Structure formats: C-alpha cells, structure tokens
Amino acid sequence: MEQKRADKIADALEGLIFDGTFADGTRLDEVQLAEQFSVSRTPVREALQRLAQFGLVEHLPRRGVFVRQPGPVELIEMFEVMAELESVCARLAASRITDKALAELQATNARCDLAVERQDPDEYYRENERFHAILYCQSGNAFLEQECHKLHRRLQPFRRTQLRLRGRLRQSMSEHEAVVSALEDGDGARAAEAIRAHVAVQGEKFHHLIASLKPAAE
Amino acid sequence: MEQKRADKIADALEGLIFDGTFADGTRLDEVQLAEQFSVSRTPVREALQRLAQFGLVEHLPRRGVFVRQPGPVELIEMFEVMAELESVCARLAASRITDKALAELQATNARCDLAVERQDPDEYYRENERFHAILYCQSGNAFLEQECHKLHRRLQPFRRTQLRLRGRLRQSMSEHEAVVSALEDGDGARAAEAIRAHVAVQGEKFHHLIASLKPAAE
DNA sequence: AAATTTATTCTTGTATACAAAAAAATTGAC
DNA sequence: GTCAATTTTTTTGTATACAAGAATAAATTT
C-alpha cells in the first residue's frame, strides 16, 4: 500500500481547498506548489489532474488550474442528487439488508444517541458517517455504494457545518430512527422517503447552507 | 478549444478498450503506447490516469495499468444505477419540464418512429441519445445531468449491442412514448417508473447482455 | 536437481530540459 | 498621455534523463 507522492499531494491540496486556504478562483501555480511540497512539477501536475477529475479545480488549457468551489446552486443540486442516491440505497436495502447489518445499524444509531446525550459532535459525526456507510453497502450494489461514497466525500465539508445547527443533532437522530424503522418493516418506499428528507437541503438547512457560503462567495 | 495530445490519446484508448482491441486484463505498456502514438511517455501517462479515474483501467502502483472491463455483476449494477438516475430525472422533469422541451421530446420520439419504419438502427440510436439527453437536461439539475451523461457514456458500448435485439427498437419506442405520456400529464411517479423499466436490464435483455459479454470474458 | 540468493534487466515514478503559447511589459506612434 | 504593436518573460505542455522498485534470469549452495 505504497502511496505515490502525487496521491499525498492530491490529498493535501484537497484539504487546503476544503478548509478554505485556497479560495474560489485561486490559480494554483505548478512551480510554486512544487517547491512548496519539495518535489518537481510532475507529481504536482498529476495531483492537479486528479483534482480536476473530481471537480475541485477547473483546468483551462494553456491557462492553468483554478480552484472551483461550488456555488449555492450547484451545492443544492449536489445535495439533491445525494438525497436521491441515498434514497435509492434505502429502497434497495429494504429488501436486501441482512439481519446482522440491521442490528449494526441499530447499534450505530444507539451510539449516535449517546453522542447527542454527551453533546459530542465529533463522536456523532463519526457514527453518522458509519450509519450512511452501512446504508450504502446494504444497497447490495457495489457500484452504487462507490458513487455514494464519492459524492458523500465531496459534500463532507458542507455537511459538517450543517451539524452545528442548534438542535440539528437530535433531529438528525430521529430521522435516522425513522429510516431504521422503515427498514425493519421492509418498507422500501417509507425508508426511501425518510432518508431523502434526512439528506435533502430544505427549510432551515437551506438558509444555513447559504449563510455558510457567504465568506467564500465574497 | 485546442485539445491536448493527452486528451486525444485518452479518447483513442477509450475507443480501443470499448471495441475490444484491448481485452480485459491487458497490461498497457507506456513506452509501447508512446511510440505507437509517436509521443513521449508523458501524455500517455496523463491519458492513462484519466482512464483510471473513469474506471476503464486499473492502476496498480509500480506495476502498471491494466484494462478493467466490468464483469456481469458490475454491469448489472451500473445499469441499475443508470435506471435509478434516469428515474430521478424523469420524476423531477415531470414538474420542471418546459413546453418547448416537451415538444422537442415528442419530435425526437417521432423521428425515432421514422427510424424504426426505415429500419435504420443508427438513426434510431442518434435520436435515442437525444431523447435521453433532453430528459437529463430537463431534470433542472445540472449536476445530475452531468452524472447521467458520464454513466451513459460509460455504458454506451453495452447499450449498442442491446439495440440489436429482435424487435427491441419497436419496444424501446413504445417505452419512450410511455415516458412522454406521463410527462405530459405531469405524473412524476409514472414517468419515473416508465423510464426505469426502459433502462433496467431485465428479462430477455439480461440474457442478451450476459451473452454479449462471453467473448471478452473468455 | 531444487532452492535460495544475487545480479541484471525492465518498468514505473520523478526530475530536469526544452518548446510553444499566452501574459506582461516596453517601445513606438499618434 | 493613450493606444497599439512588438518584444520579453512567464507558464504550460512535451520530451528526455535519471532513480528506484519489481520482475526475471543466473549462479551458487545445499
């Protein structure tokens, strides 16, 4: 499991874009990054190409690569797709999920509950991730699972801010329970609707998401 | 819009993988491809990395890149996801589609009909592509549209063989009409179900798909 | 003769060198 | 002084050179 230098650079750059070090529209200079990472331009270029494929940067031929933060509209769209993908997972999982996975889902949810009691957002975050990962897996469709993980990862920085909303943790919990309940009953339609409502950006969440974007948009 | 050499090489390699010139498991030698395309290793490597991101080849560190044709299971999974994505498009389009787009959808379908009459599979193929493209666009979600196009493109070589099934063209046509009819009524659920049934691999299509894979699998 | 270890070769990953294109700057004209 | 044109400089894209790891072949040992 030897990771190439290019991979590590790509990960590092992804982090720097996520945490706002590189604002939207910033040009990423190859030679500058190269000496910053103490490597040649070659691995830097590889990393940038990977980021371009992931949509984090835009590569204009003969012009350079520029950070491409999603705007409000694109973000809403991505969350809509995420909601629909997870909805599909839930519907498929309703008939395909194993007893063991269902038990693990309940256990994960219980740990979420504990995290809410302890007011531990980080722990909640971890268990929440696990909850969704199980759902993806239990769709029984490995390709769908992969696609979900990709988009999930892409939306990660925006979802973290969402969890800081007052009372959001408890509400998120009850939404999880609705999903589990529907899965227990093998009710695909209900499970799909429950997870869609959980993931979709609507109501308060919408305003909070837009507000969190303001600094970067300026 | 000057296309880099690497882009052209990526496209060419994609074609060579699609048409079976490079069978599953084949190692793609950098220097060999480089002299074959009369370029250096650099653009070849860029092209290979792009193909790896698209999932057409697998890149084992320090080992090389190998053609990775999807097996039967993965193919079924991809078609399932495609069906669900298009289903989402249809559901969203039902409430978002413009009158003009609906008219164009009907016109496209009429041209499909003509192509069936003339027994012109190529013409049908083109108009069929257009039908789906309109649907993606009318979801009103540009991100979803992009994702649909990506997967659609990936599945292209496998879908072409499907259209050669006896009587498949006419059946495909009537399925299109069911989608349009539902969209005319603004019935999202019915439109979603219609397009899902249209795209999903089931019944005869399943056997034909598996059969078409046999040569490559050997 | 079989196996293990060592040496050689081959291939990938990285660095550097070069070429072409775009951006910037300087010079010239009005 | 401003605008345009040409030159300079910077930067990307490509080629080549080098280094390190993996596969293979050879040789020595058991």
- Say which residues have a Cβ less than 8 Å from residue B157's Cβ, sequence separation at least 6: B18, B19
Whole-number percent of chain B with pLDDT over 90: 77
Give the mean pLDDT of A93-120: 93
At residue A168 the predicted structure's pLDDT band, cuts being 50, 70 and 90, is confident
Q: Which domain holds residue B39?
A: 5-67
Q: Based on the domain organization, do A79 and A45 belong to the same domain?
A: no
Q: What is the pLDDT, as a whole number, of residue A26?
A: 95
Domain total of chain B: 2
Q: Which of A101, A198, A84, A200 lies closest to A147 in space, CA to CA?
A: A84
Q: Yes or no: say if A90 and A102 are a contact pair by the CB < 8 Å rule.
A: no
- In this structure, what CATH number is given to the domain that contains residue A20? 1.10.10.10
Does the model's ipTM exceed the 0.95 cut? no
**Same-domain check for residues A146 and A58:** no
Same domain? B159 vs B210: yes
Q: Report CA-CA distances (Å) from B167 to B129, B164, B194.
A: 18, 8, 18
B216 or B147, which is more confident: B147
- Looking at the complex, report in whole angstroms how far the Cα of residue A81 sits from the nearest Cα belonging to chain B: 6
CATH of the domain at A105: 1.20.120.530
Strand C proximal to A5 Cβ, under 7 A: yes
* Structure confidence at residue B167 (pLDDT): 79
Same domain, B85 and B55: no
The answer, yes or no, to whether residue B200 has pLDDT greater than 60, is yes
Dump pLDDT digits (tens) for B35-82.
999 999 999 999 999 999 999 999 999 999 999 999 999 999 999 999
Is the pLDDT at B144 greater than 90, yes or no?
yes
Q: Which of B25, B50, B67 is the last residue of a domain?
A: B67
A3 in contact with nucleic chain D (CB within 7 A):
no
Between A135-144, A158-167, A197-206, B87-96, the lowest mean confidence (pLDDT) is in: A158-167
Once rounded to an integer, what is the mean pLDDT over residues B210-218? 64
Encoding tokens for residue A162? Answer: 């969402």
Residues A62, A98 within the same domain: no
Which of B 52-71 lie inside 8 A of A, CB atoms? 53, 61-62
Answer yes or no: do B85 and B147 share one domain: yes
Q: Does the CB of A31 fall within 7 Å of any strand D atom? A: yes
Q: What is the pLDDT of residue B218?
A: 39
Model confidence pLDDT, tens digit, residues A5-55? 888 999 999 999 999 999 999 999 999 999 999 999 999 999 999 999 999
Residue identified by tokens 């290793």 is B41
* Residues B167 and B137 reside in one and the same domain: yes
Both A87 and A63 in one domain: the answer is no
Tell whether the model's pLDDT for residue A217 goes beyond 50: no
The answer on B86 and B47 residing in a single domain is no
Does residue A50 sit in the same domain as residue A124? Answer: no
How does the average pLDDT of chain B come out, rounded?
A: 92
Residues in chain B: 218
Q: Are residues B11 and B92 in the same domain?
A: no
> Residues A114, A154: one domain?
yes
Structure-token match 């943790």, residue found = A169
Which of B51, B67, B83 finishes a domain? B67
Res. A215 pLDDT band, cuts 50 70 90: low
pLDDT on residue A202 = 81
Between CA A157 and CA A18 the distance in angstroms is: 6
- The secondary structure of chain A, three-state, reads CCCCHHHHHHHHHHHHHHCCCCCCCCEECHHHHHHHCCCCHHHHHHHHHHHHHHCCEEEECCCEEEECCCCHHHHHHHHHHHHHHHHHHHHHHHHHCCHHHHHHHHHHHHHHHHHHHCCCHHHHHHHHHHHHHHHHHCCCCHHHHHHHHHHHHHHHHHHHHHCCCCCHHHHHHHHHHHHHHHHHCCCHHHHHHHHHHHHCCCCHHHHHHHHHHHHHHC
Contact B77 A141 (CB under 8 A): yes
Which chain B residues are Cβ-neighbours of A200 within 8 angstroms? Answer: none
Residue range A44-91, pLDDT digits in tens: 999 999 999 999 999 999 999 999 999 999 999 999 999 999 999 999
Task: Kindly compute the dihedral angle of the four CA atoms of residues B54, B58, B60, B64, in this order, to the nearest 10 degrees.
Answer: -100
Last residue of a domain, one of B67, B86, B111: B67
Residue B166 pLDDT > 50, yes or no?
A: yes
